Chain A
Amino acid sequence: MTAALSVRNLRVEIPTRRGVLTAIDDLSFDIAPGEVLGVVGESGAGKSITGSAIIGLLDPPGRVAGGEILLSGERIDNLSPSAMRQIRGKRIGMIFQDPLTSLNPLYRIGDQLTETILTHEAISAKAAAEKAERLLVEVGIPAAGTRMSSYPHQFSGGMRQRVVIALALAADPELVIADEPTTALDVSVQAQIIALIKRLCKDRGTSVMLITHDMGVIAETADRVCVLYAGRLAEIGAVRDVVKRAQHPYTHGLMAAIPSLIDDPNEKLEQIPGSMPRLGAIPAGCAFNPRCTYRFGRCMRERPGIYPVGASDASCFLHDASGEAPPAAVVRNAIDAGIDVRASEGAEP
């Protein structure tokens, strides 16, 4: 089956006065039709830039410098601006982080909805208004009929995010990119909003790219998860696998740092020492090597490729069955921690 979205070796560059920064480096992943792919990573890992690149809205001077983006098998990264406009909103919907600033303060929400619908569908203004109201009902706005003529500032944050969701889904897109849709909201409404996105997209068979730095949300919502580190793929796999048996040392550290995912309440939360490098200061070899407990000589020299581990893929030399083997002590530690070192070779369990 053709993937709803296929990102192939994506490279995003940001030219600056002090040279060209590579914000996304050789990133590949697929999202199957109807699938929810979680994208996680620390702040600055390149999650938003990936989303912007897909929908063709990179802030200049950022640009796609390599690779391909395919929507249901068609390339969309090389389209003309007007052709790309046909895709935005119509085939890819986007939900941004801050509902308080996503809506134009000067227009009634009903007008913003009908404007969007009329942009993508050749229907009468009346039919568009009816559809707009149906959408508001669907996203759970009480008294949707009268709320059509309200202005954004008359809604709470959670309600505004529902309106934003209605806007993103207005033209029934096949893919929705939700960039931290709940980060700016009260904790009490976060779960509702996530559940709403999940339900609506499931009903419509819409694929979702759910960007967040909340592993808890991913664990509950996503089918698969893609872990980014410094603009590069660290690990990608089914949520179950990644949560239970992370294969990249970085992911492993991330999971250990999440309280809700630890079975034993007495177990200590681990923190990954150090911090993610800035774009201009990514070390040679593996980007994670300065913080990695399992690094060995090769990690400092070569950049790891993507290696299969069980049903997941991880970008770590521990899983490269062909090249220089890691020292025995590193292997032992990794295996103790639950990393399936060189599993594809069948040498170790």
Chain B
Amino acid sequence: MLAFAIRRLIQAIGVMLVVAMISFVMFRFVGDPVSQLVGNDTPPAERAQLRKELGLDDPIYVQFARFVDKAAHFDFGISYQIKQPVSTLIAQRLPATLELSIVSAILALVVGMPMGVYTGLYPHSWLSRLFLAISLAGISLPTFLIGILLIFIFSVNFGMLPSFGRGDVVSLGGYWTTGLLTRTGLQSIILPSITLGLFQMTLIMRLVRGEMLEVLRTDYIKFARARGLSRRAINFGHALKNTLVPVITITGLQLGSIIAFSIITETVFQWPGMGLLFLQAVQNVDIPIMAAYLLLIAFLFTLINFIVDLLYVAVDPRIRIGGAKA
């Protein structure tokens, strides 16, 4: 188990280094950092001076090592546009994005799993057909359209829920701001989290359904029936548990995508998260923010993957013995 964790950890570090390299290349070669920092009328001598001070004359690998070292200490430099440390900017925005993403993921899981189990157990019932029809909409409608539709219905037409922003937030220990403890904060997160989670929800539902249908056909389920076990024991004990490995994988990977793709939802709902920050950075060619965002997203993906791998081992005993499952 420990060896397994260590092996995965080394792989994760390798992945992060590759991403850091991409991020570094972007940082270093997309546009000239010096010309971003100084005005057009700065004399060449002064530019050369600045270049030297910033270490841009050092060999590439030294620069890269410095970049990695700084990134490991959460130092991503100063935003060209906002003139503040990137790490501060991201730290301010991170809670909003993570809260939205996690609420969306939980929503997707809590609604998608039971729907998947139900449609798997009763594939021919009319409710299952209804779920499948809804899920088709969830999969095929683009996120921004769903967001706009929800705003139109619940904010514009009924005036029930706010259409933008995060509502009131509470600061926790100075590091974290949460909207989950205030009324307006909770109201504000409903529409964006549905928008962001709908696609994943339908994905999870279809996945669980497919896995359930498959597992219910296996010999060990037939044998469990032949042993006279109760339906509950068969459906939830034996069948559902066997669908969990792929569900964990997909949910984990989807959590990463949710965080990454929150950009669109944040834009539609003017949600003050990293996605919005990133989008502004793109518009302003604010390379430090883009590079940091890229690294952060990659880090979250890798972290989630790592946790998913460990969860596998907890669920499926076969992985423990053979080491990594092919």
Chain A residues at the B interface, C-beta cutoff of 8 Å: 55, 57, 85-90, 93-94, 96, 98, 101-107, 115-116, 119-120, 151, 153-154, 164, 167-168, 170-171
Contact = CB atoms under 8 A, between A and B. Distances in A.
Nearest to A177: B226
B5 interface: no
Give the secondary structure class of B's interface: helix
Contacts of B242: 104-106
Interface stretch (B50-58, B145-153, B278-286, B312-320): B312-320
Interface stretch (B66-74, B228-236, B251-259): B228-236
A179 to B, nearest CB: 10
Nearest to B233: A115
Nearest to B223: A102
A120 B228 contact: yes
Given A105-B317, A106-B316, A154-B321, A57 B229 contact: no
Contacts of B129: none
Q: Which 5 A-B pairs have the closest CB atoms?
A: A89-B228, A94-B226, A88-B228, A101-B219, A89-B227
B225 interface: yes
A106 B241 contact: yes
B3 to A, nearest CB: 19
Given A57-B226, A120-B228, 5 more contacts: A89-B227, A105-B220, A119-B229, A151-B317, A153-B317
B224 interface: yes
Nearest to A173: B228
Interface string B199-233: 00000000000000000001110111111111101
Interface residues of B, number: 23
A86 B317 contact: no
Contact of A96 (B219, B241, B316): B219
A116 B229 contact: yes
Nearest to A117: B227
A171 B227 CA distance: 9
Contacts of A120: 228
B315 A167 contact: no
B223 A119 contact: no
B28 interface: no
A111 to B, nearest CB: 10
A55 B316 contact: no
Contacts of B237: 115
A131 B318 CA distance: 26
A88 B230 contact: no
B238 interface: yes
A93 B242 CA distance: 24
A164 B223 contact: yes
Given A57-B225, A106-B242, A153-B317, A98 B219 contact: yes
Contact of A153 (B220, B226, B321): B321
Given A115-B233, A153-B317, A153-B318, A102 B220 contact: yes
28 contacts: A57-B222, A57-B226, A87-B228, A88-B225, A88-B228, A89-B227, A89-B228, A89-B229, A90-B228, A93-B226, A94-B226, A96-B222, A102-B220, A104-B224, A104-B242, A106-B241, A106-B315, A106-B316, A107-B238, A116-B229, A119-B227, A119-B228, A119-B230, A119-B233, A153-B317, A164-B223, A168-B226, A170-B227
A160 to B, nearest CB: 11
Nearest to A102: B223
Contacts of A105: 220, 242, 316-318
A102 to B, nearest CB: 4
B237 to A, nearest CB: 8
Contacts of A55: 226
B64 to A, nearest CB: 45
Nearest to B245: A106
A155 to B, nearest CB: 12
Nearest to B218: A101
Nearest to B226: A94
A107 B225 CA distance: 16
Contacts of B315: 106
Contacts of A89: 226-229
Q: Name the residue in A88, A94, A104, A120 with the highest tally of chain B Cβ atoms < 10 Å from its Cβ.
A: A104
Contacts of A153: 317-318, 321
Contacts of B219: 96, 98, 101-102
Nearest to A179: B226
Contacts of A171: 228
A20 B218 CA distance: 25
Contacts of B229: 89, 115-116, 119
A90 B230 CA distance: 12
Contacts of B222: 57, 96
Nearest to B228: A89
B211 to A, nearest CB: 13
A102 B229 CA distance: 14
Nearest to B238: A104
A277 to B, nearest CB: 27
B220 A103 contact: yes
A171 B231 CA distance: 18
Contacts of A116: 227-229
Contacts of B223: 94, 96, 102-103, 164, 167
Given A96-B219, A96-B223, A102-B220, A151 B318 contact: yes
B220 A104 contact: yes
Contacts of B228: 85-90, 116, 119-120, 171
A51 to B, nearest CB: 10
B238 to A, nearest CB: 5
Interface string B287-308: 0000000000000000000000
Q: Which of B219, B238, B241 counts the most A-chain CB atoms under 10 A from its CB?
A: B219
Contacts of A96: 219, 222-223, 226
A162 B321 CA distance: 22
B112 to A, nearest CB: 21
B294 to A, nearest CB: 38
Interface string B262-292: 0000000000000000000000000000000
A105 B317 CA distance: 8
Interface string B74-104: 0000000000000000000000000000000
